[in-house]
Amino acid sequence: GNSVTQMEGPVTLSEEAFLTINCTYTATGYPSLFWYVQYPGEGLQLLLKATKADDKGSNKGFEATYRKETTSFHLEKGSVQVSDSAVYFCALSEDGGTASKLTFGTGTRLQVTL
């Protein structure tokens, strides 16, 4: 079956530091890949996505590249802010026809301090 593996957190960084959160996946076929972010007390929000190999998703300074050869979709940001503190989830989507059946990683908590 499909699976997503994320680096364990928490990740603690100082403001303006470089961020990498690793994500690797196992899937049959050609899934779409996503990063979602969950702020405290809220639901998940889509951060970025990539639908095929070598696609780069980007949003709000965050980037991730769909690497089929290494089955990875690592999240990066050049300079984090305190407001980026949240839990980040990597996910893949099987083509379920009329539904997106997302398989999530376990989430990585990011804490950014001044």
Give contact residues for another protein (rule: CB under 8 A).
32, 34, 36, 38, 41-46, 49, 51, 87, 89, 93-102, 104, 106-107, 109
Amino acid of residue 85: S
Cβ 63 to another protein shortest distance, Å: 17
CA–CA distance, 8 with 22 (Å, rounded to integer): 9
Distance from C-alpha of 91 to C-alpha of 111, rounded to nearest angstrom: 21
Residue closer to another protein (CB basis): 14 or 101: 101
- For the CB of residue 64, give the shortest distance to another protein in the complex, in Å: 14
Is there a contact between 74 and 59 (Cβ–Cβ < 8 Å)? no
State the distance between the two ends of the chain, measured CA to CA, in whole angstroms.
41
Query: Minimum distance from CB of 23 to another protein (Å)?
Result: 14
Question: Which of 66, 84 has the CB closer to another protein?
Answer: 66
Determine how β-strand 56-59 pairs with β-strand 3-6.
unpaired
Is the CB of residue 108 less than 8 Å from the CB of residue 9? yes
Nearest distance from residue 73's CB to another protein, in Å? Answer: 14
